[in-house]
Structure 1
Amino acid sequence: MKRVFVIGAAVMLAAMSLVGCKRSQEPVQFHASGHPGQLSDWHVVSVVDGHLRLNEGVEPYALNSALFSDYAHKLRTLWLPPGTKATYKQYEAFDFPVGTIISKTFYYPRAGKDAAVLRVAEQASETRDGLDLAKVRLVETRLLVRREQGWVAMAYVWNAEQTQAVLAREGDSIAMTMRKPDGSGEQAFNYMVPDENQCAGCHATNNTTRELHPIGPKARHLNRDDPWHPGTNQLARMVQLGRLQGLPATGVPHNARFDDASAKVEDRARAYLDVNCGHCHNPKGAADTSGLWLDAGTTETRRLGLCKPPVAAGQGTGDHMFDIVPGDPDDSIIIYRMDSLDPGAMMPELGRGTVHEEGVALIRDWIGAWLGNCADPEQKVAIQSR
């Protein structure tokens, strides 16, 4: 676990200004009811001078490891009503006040003058002065809004002119072409914007109540260096800005970055599975009856899939016997489902039309490090850290 660093007053003052310059906009507008038809009705982000810029008081944030969404980059923001604070929770999403607006804008770097987009790693510098629309293509912006009755999700799709985003209650399918910077690996896919029910498929993290909750704003995901203010811990900065209360001085959970080659494979893999699968695969989630729990709090190897036969995966097994076969990723159901684009087999089953090659490779390495076999149920099986 990482200690949260306290920032000085000078750094705090610098942090209070938005990334880059903020242009004059109408104040953020919280809508306590209804579904406004345009993203601009909220005044959270706006297109100004060819850039997508954040409004005053709208703060960007980043996660240690993020949900994979067809290699899309994401600009995440948080706005709290003035004078209010979120309350720290150790493992669950923070308790945010009514009026909170969380936004997530999905975008891709442009490949050139044609309509193709690039498959490249996300860089914080892309958003330091807002998103330059000459360099990126906006696809959608999702809002998660905290109202009196609970959280409400809405998705807004950007038009071809990149001037406005319109509410898409029934979702959308956008044909796209993606390639690597060297021009190789060109791939056509359909980018799927979720409808309202599909939003609940992930954000209804409790299968009993079916109430929507944020997934990313948790201590273990936010406990990291602020990419826009290097040397500043994000959680400490939230406290200094008066946006978070109850943060302990020590013992704050921390997930690894899945792409951090200096971290242990086990830590990277668990972080990846936690953020991509754990919101469903946990004791209370939508996949609670599967018996496969992939959230950060699960430590029992059987629950993590080791030599565990599937409960009701159907064709999703690919004729494999166990979720994880130690030392044999190719015979493990988890790898089969992560590597599939078959709607009846792929996992996650929503939010992607491509395979996350780097994610699959990481989980392969993790499974490959497990020792033992599933032939003898009495044999002890363990994972070797590396």
Structure 2
Amino acid sequence: MRLSAILSLVVMLVACDAARGPVTLHPADRPPERLSDWGIVFADGKTFELNADVVPYDLNTPLFSDYALKMRTVWMPPGMSASYMAEGVLDFPVGTIISKTFHYEKSGHQKNGSLTVVKADRESALNEDAELDLSDYVLIETRLLVHYEDGWTALPYVWNETQTDASLEIAGDDRQLGLVAGTDTLDIVYVVPDKNQCGGCHVTDHGAKDLQPIGPKAWQLNRDYSWWGNDATQLENWSGRGLLRGFDGDAPAGVRWSPPGQATLEQRVRAYLDVNCAHCHNPAGAADTSALHLNLDAPVDRLYGICKTPVAVGRGSGDRPFDIYPGRPQDSILVYRMQHSDPAIAMPELGRSAVHTEGVTAVSDWIAALNGDCR
């Protein structure tokens, strides 16, 4: 089905949310300035909610983003569905809109005029009604990935102070935030990526140059989600609702980053590195010249960083000899770069200003437990 037909179908057939109106797929060359014009999510300063035709979802192991909470959603044109893929991202139809809204719990404190928020120890604050009470939470940004006939495009929207709408910010934005944990406050500059920076992560195949979703893979969606009101996995619920075809009930096991659950330390760390690093550090990714492959299906060998000397990292090596030095996390470049927020050293390069303490601890513990000698 061509995009022109899909646009007509959206306008004519999509069921309307009586209070808000339908989801609207806009032409690629004319994205609206207001997020609300898409009809995906809405806020009135009091409540954040989803269009009735939008489906929220969650991941087993999410990308770390400065301790922000995230609301993820997907919408597909009426009568259309994604194709199941056991490996890689599900194959979504043209016309799909994926959204991710970054938000924080309010701390109730002010510090030098900056917004102070709670340093989240969880990933999602969505209740079973798919709403957020904005007296408790503050919306920062919503990112859209929209699938057109010629590929995906990324659009960053930044929420206004009144929390009633978000505006398109192609050049990105930043916010001064104080992350509160107990009696401690960490001051950061929260960075909303510009349109090109979105491609820095979402172009997972550097040769093809095409943007792709990163999160909605079978192993990531293979978990329950309270919004559905049952104990089935999201894959099963999507299939039952007609949003997913080709799924026979057999899916790769999901690895929950936190809480650990049944996963081993190595499984958790490998899932974490896949999500936070492998969009660049894979054989076809933007960091392919580093010869460091951190994708989940890569063997744990030299190309995974074990006793691997750096190709060219400058200050980023910290004079450490190997990417991963078994038994010696303090001498591993991977840990050194995770521990830094300096843009010239930090990894990942985009998407965070804060150090993910819990991630550093888990990766360090895993490396400390590795056997081997790099001599």
Asked if these proteins are the same fold (TM beyond 0.5), I'd say yes
Contact 1:80-1:97 within 8 A present in 2 as well? yes
Contact 2:300-2:306 within 8 A present in 1 as well? no
Which residue in the other structure is 1:108 paired with? 104
Q: TM-score, normalised by structure 1?
A: 0.88
Alpha-carbon offset, residue 178 of structure 1: 1.2
Q: 1:285 to 1:255 in 2, by over 3 A?
A: farther
Identity of aligned residues (%): 48
Read off the aligned partner of 1:138 and give its amino acid letter. Answer: L
Q: Distance in 2 between matches of 1:220 and 1:366?
A: 22
Which one is further off, 210-219 or 257-266? Answer: 257-266
Which residue in the other structure is 1:118 paired with? 118
CA deviations 1:312-333 (Å, max 9, x no partner) are: 1111100011000001100000
1:228-307 equivalences under 5 Å are 228=227, 229-250=229-250, 252-262=251-261, 263-307=263-307
Which residue in the other structure is 1:136 paired with? 137
Q: Distance in 1 between matches of 2:313 and 2:225?
A: 40
Alpha-carbon offset, residue 300 of structure 1: 4.0
Read off the aligned partner of 1:194 and give its amino acid letter. Answer: P
Q: 1:171 to 1:206 in 2, by over 3 A?
A: same
Answer 1 or 2: higher relative contact order, Cα 8 Å, separation at least 6.
Answer: 1
1:52-71 equivalences under 5 Å are 52-71=48-67
Question: What secondary structure, in the 3-state scheme, does the structure 2 residue paired with 1:316 have?
Answer: helix
Q: Distance in 1 between matches of 2:362 and 2:170?
A: 35
Question: What secondary structure, in the 3-state scheme, does the structure 1 residue paired with 2:272 have?
Answer: helix
Q: 1:23 to 1:139 in 2, by over 3 A?
A: farther
The answer on 1:27 being equivalent to 2:28 is: no
Alpha-carbon offset, residue 48 of structure 1: 4.4
Which residue in the other structure is 2:204 paired with? 205
Alpha-carbon offset, residue 227 of structure 1: 3.1
Q: TM-score, normalised by structure 2?
A: 0.91
Alpha-carbon offset, residue 23 of structure 1: 6.5
Which residue in the other structure is 2:13 paired with? none
Alpha-carbon offset, residue 88 of structure 1: 1.0
Please provide the CA RMSD for this pair: 1.4
Q: Distance in 2 between matches of 1:24 and 1:232?
A: 30
Q: Distance in 1 between matches of 2:230 and 2:295?
A: 29
**Unaligned 5+ residue runs, structure 1?**
1-21, 376-386
**Unaligned 5+ residue runs, structure 2?**
1-16
Alpha-carbon offset, residue 126 of structure 1: 3.6
The answer on 1:51 being equivalent to 2:50 is: no
CA deviations 1:61-82 (Å, max 9, x no partner) are: 0000100000000000000001
Q: Distance in 2 between matches of 1:296 and 1:255?
A: 12
Question: What secondary structure, in the 3-state scheme, does the structure 1 residue paired with 2:176 have?
Answer: strand
The answer on 1:351 being equivalent to 2:351 is: yes
1:72-111 equivalences under 5 Å are 72-111=68-107
The answer on 1:149 being equivalent to 2:166 is: no
CA deviations 1:187-220 (Å, max 9, x no partner) are: 1110000001100000001000110000001111
Which one is further off, 88-97 or 45-54? Answer: 45-54
Q: 1:49 to 1:372 in 2, by over 3 A?
A: closer
Question: What secondary structure, in the 3-state scheme, does the structure 2 residue paired with 1:371 have?
Answer: coil
Alpha-carbon offset, residue 95 of structure 1: 1.0
Q: Distance in 2 between matches of 1:87 and 1:217?
A: 12
